[in-house]
Amino acid sequence: MNIAEYMQGLGRNARAASRLVAAASSGAKNAALMAMAAAIRERREFLISANVKDLDAARTAGLDAAMIDRLKLTDKGIDTMAAGVEQVAALPDPVGEITDVRRRPSGIEVGKMRVPLGVIGIIYESRPNVTADAAALCLKSGNAAILRGGKEALHSNQAIAACVRAGLGAAGLPETAVQVVETTDREAVGALITMPEFVDVIVPRGGKGLIERISRDARVPVIKHLDGNCHVYVDDAADPGKVVPIVENAKTQRYGTCNTAETLLVARGVAGRFLPEIGRMLAGHGVEMRCCAESLTMLTDCGIDASLLKAAQASDWDEEYLAPILAVKVVAGIDEAIEHINAHSSGHTEAIVSENYTSAMRFLREVDSASVMINASTRFADGFEYGLGAEIGISTDKIHARGPVGLEGLTSQKWIVFGNGEVRR
């Protein structure tokens, strides 16, 4: 197989299909999604047997238990996947929305129309359910998709792809609207990210290494999600009833997610009051604290297991632990908090706990991150929690889309002009 030619072929098919799905009615797209979901449920045995092949190969290759767990398609997982596709069908269609129409002095009326991006390339790692999720989101937003999953999930992804094609076919849409790359050769990724004539945007979903590599080599725009070094800042005017619940939820509800807090900043004026209580709560969850000198002194002799208290290194302020570890720093107040966050954050999500209107609004305006919150847990930074219905990823970029990317993030707006024979003078 000549990989470059194969990928060019997929690209050519996708470009042609993208014209048809861009012009498809909401009814046709929803019918295809409902048929996909039905096919996923009906072909349950087929999906599980394909998945067993991947699991056997994974065990033979000695993949670790966490990886195998992510790879596994259970009966419940199949239902969840089908329900996810049905949920996308139920979302409003963003395509074709006309807004901001205004008459200009020349007589023309100028407005905007929301349109698909065209062809979206998705590169992802082990979880096979991404195949169905991404297919559904791309189709609903009127885009064609080329999906490139991890090699360990090859059989599972191909089986899901067959269900996706069945759904497209049932609704009279081109089966090439969603194509799953059938080779595990890494050259396929290189080709996919360097075909601007066929692919309009790449969405990589995976570890930081994968995303950095793709961003470096891509010749098309990349909607990327790098790390989530999220902060909670406890302000001088924090409501005592909100401090511990928000810090606890932001740090301990799940350790491995990108919207989990990794650094706690506490205003000096209230550090003595809140830090011991926060420290004991964190210790109760077994969370290790990497402390600045001042917070380390305050937290020592609070009855906290000494093995959980460490002096922070400079690198701790930039770390995404994805683990029961939290960096802790005392700051002078709102100014130092904003400055520290804008210097060290990865621009994902930050929260302030404060009852002071001016501090809260300054934090909201001046913190330069994709999500900025007042008196709420950073864990809310999520497409479902925000009401997007679903998300293709969370962007840490600053252009196009910031934060959770839903259907709208897979579209853009073109200009439309309604004239009556006007010419420019």
Q: Does 420 bind a second copy (CB under 8 A)?
A: yes
Q: Are 88 and 33 in contact (CB under 8 A)?
A: yes
* Strand duo 98-103 + 201-205: pairing: unpaired
Q: How many CB atoms lie within 10 A of CB 185?
A: 15
Query: Strand runs (DSSP E) across 236-281, as ranges?
Result: 261-267
Q: Does 423 bind a second copy (CB under 8 A)?
A: yes
Report the residue from 84, 94, 149, 404 that binds a second copy according to the rule CB under 8 A: 404
Query: By CB under 8 A, is residue 366 in contact with a second copy?
Result: yes
Contact (CB, 8 A) for 409 and 395: yes
Give the one residue of 381, 390, 392, 407 binding a second copy; rule: CB under 8 A. Answer: 381
Strand boundaries in 150-267, DSSP class E = 178-180, 201-205, 230-234, 261-267
> What is the pattern of x (binds a second copy, CB under 8 A) and - over residues 321-350?
---------------------x--------
Q: Give residues 130-189 in contact with a second copy (rule: CB under 8 A).
A: none
H/E stretch holding 42: helix 26-42
Considering the rule CB under 8 A, would residue 424 count as an interface residue with a second copy?
yes
**Tokens linked to 389:** 């219905």
Query: What is the C-alpha separation between 332 and 320, in angstroms, rounded?
Result: 24
Decide if residue 201 touches a second copy (CB under 8 A): yes
Rounded Cα distance, 228 and 256, in Å: 10
- Residue 386 lies near a second copy (rule: CB under 8 A): yes
**Under rule CB under 8 A, residue 402 binds a second copy:** yes
Choice between 246 and 309, CB closer to a second copy: 246
Closer residue to a second copy in complex, CB, 130/372:
372
**Amino acid identity for residue 205 in this structure:** R
Pick from 372, 390, 392, 407: which binds a second copy (CB under 8 A)? 372
Q: Should residue 293 be labelled a site residue for a second copy when binding is judged by CB under 8 A? A: no
- Nearest to 199, CA basis, from 154, 138, 114, 126: 138
Please, which residue, 294 or 366, has the CB nearer to a second copy?
Answer: 366
318 half-sphere exposure, CB direction, 13 A CA radius:
6
Contacts of residue 186, Cβ cutoff 8 Å, sequence gap at least 6: none
Q: Least separation, in Å, of the C-beta of 77 and a second copy?
A: 22
What is the C-alpha separation between 371 and 341, in angstroms, rounded? 13
- Tokens standing for residue 354: 């404060």
Structure tokens at 190: 């290189």
Q: Which listed range, 133-141, 178-186, 261-269, 409-417, lies at the site for a second copy (CB under 8 A)?
A: 409-417
Site string for a second copy, 220-249 (x = CB under 8 A): -x-x---------------x-xx--xx-xx
Q: Does 285 bind a second copy (CB under 8 A)?
A: no
Name the residues that contact a second copy, by CB under 8 A: 19, 22-23, 96, 102, 104, 106, 108, 110, 113, 115, 117-118, 200-201, 216, 219, 221, 223, 239, 241-242, 245-246, 248-250, 253, 342, 351, 364-366, 368-377, 379-381, 385-387, 397-404, 412-424
